[in-house]
């Protein structure tokens, strides 16, 4: 099976290279160097050659693979430009058909203090009511992982957190602090720090994202058809005796 996959990839690579020569398309040294710089940035500026060789691969083979990938993309862009073009109407229609993706329910932002002993929770609540900052008290007493962030739970909609949380948090006013609540997790104190109204992301804020997604989808479909057509119109001769000897 691996031999078949490798053979298919090799045939595709040769056919694309032939098409590139026919179209007078090539990859420049500057384009290849730009890819190397991008990969280096992804690795925090590390030496790519050293990384590739640490993985047991040949750096020259890696460079060749990058060059072939670039050549493939350039050929596809020329050959399939009309097939993957996206019109403003398509983008608008996608948005209108999928508005639920862009509807965000009302959200609350809250902080918590979690203790396993009621007496500790009572002490924490007493300090808060004396005017000590909730975040400071959370850092001092809370057993939750978010204690170092002052107990901040971030923004969330109803149904995301456990029901015991929602019942308390969504009944508070901004800045209010709850009484001690016993939950399956322990003894908890909550405060509501902010709210967001339900909203729909505007079309102009997501149109570029939608266009990119549609183009990518079209490209995937068009690539398979284009490669199939390329193979059907090519003369491919396989030496099965030699193929069987490849390890």
Query: With 80 as the cut, is the pLDDT of residue 27 above it?
Result: yes
Query: With 80 as the cut, is the pLDDT of residue 209 above it?
Result: yes
Residue 179 Ramachandran class (φ > 0 left, ψ -120 to 50 alpha, else beta):
beta
Query: With 90 as the cut, is the pLDDT of residue 92 above it?
Result: yes
Question: pLDDT tier at 247 (50, 70, 90 boundaries)?
Answer: low
Q: Between 107 and 78, where is the model more confident?
A: 107
Helix pair 134-141, 118-129: axis angle to 10 deg:
160
Q: Tell me which H or E stretch contains 231.
A: helix 203-232
Q: CA 40, CA 36: separation in Å to the nearest integer?
A: 6
Q: CA 7, CA 30: separation in Å to the nearest integer?
A: 30
Query: With 80 as the cut, is the pLDDT of residue 1 above it?
Result: no
Q: CA 3, CA 85: separation in Å to the nearest integer?
A: 36
| pLDDT, mean of residues 16-22 | 91
CA angle 173, 136, 160 (to 5 degrees): 50
Query: With 90 as the cut, is the pLDDT of residue 48 above it?
Result: no
Query: With 70 as the cut, is the pLDDT of residue 130 above it?
Result: yes
pTM for the complete prediction? 0.50
| pLDDT, mean of residues 113-135 | 96
Q: List % helix, strand, coil for the chain (3-state, nearest 5).
A: 60, 15, 25
Q: Which residue has 């002052």 as its token pair?
A: 150
Query: With 90 as the cut, is the pLDDT of residue 179 above it?
Result: yes
């Amino acid at each position: 099976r691996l031999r078949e996959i490798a053979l298919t990839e090799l045939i595709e690579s040769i056919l694309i290279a032939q098409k590139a020569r026919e179209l007078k398309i090539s990859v420049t040294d500057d384009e290849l160097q730009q890819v190397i710089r991008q990969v280096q940035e992804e690795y925090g500026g590390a030496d790519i050659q050293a990384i590739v060789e640490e993985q047991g691969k040949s750096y020259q083979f890696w460079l060749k693979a990058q060059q072939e990938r670039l050549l493939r993309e350039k050929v596809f862009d020329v050959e399939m430009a009309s097939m993957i073009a996206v019109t403003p109407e398509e983008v608008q229609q996608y948005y209108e058909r999928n508005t639920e993706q862009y509807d965000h329910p009302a959200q609350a932002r809250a902080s918590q203090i979690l203790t396993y002993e009621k007496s500790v929770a009572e002490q924490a609540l007493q300090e808060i009511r004396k005017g000590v900052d909730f975040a400071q008290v959370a850092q001092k007493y809370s057993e939750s992982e978010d204690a170092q962030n002052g107990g901040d739970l971030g923004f969330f909609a109803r149904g995301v957190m456990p029901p015991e949380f929602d019942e308390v948090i969504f009944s508070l006013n901004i800045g209010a602090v709850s009484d001690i609540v016993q939950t399956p997790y322990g003894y908890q104190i909550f405060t509501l720090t902010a709210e967001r109204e339900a909203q729909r992301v505007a079309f102009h804020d997501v149109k570029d994202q939608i266009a990119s997604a549609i183009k990518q989808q079209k490209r995937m479909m068009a690539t398979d058809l284009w490669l199939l057509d390329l193979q059907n119109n090519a003369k491919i001769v396989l030496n099965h005796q030699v193929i069987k000897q490849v390890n």
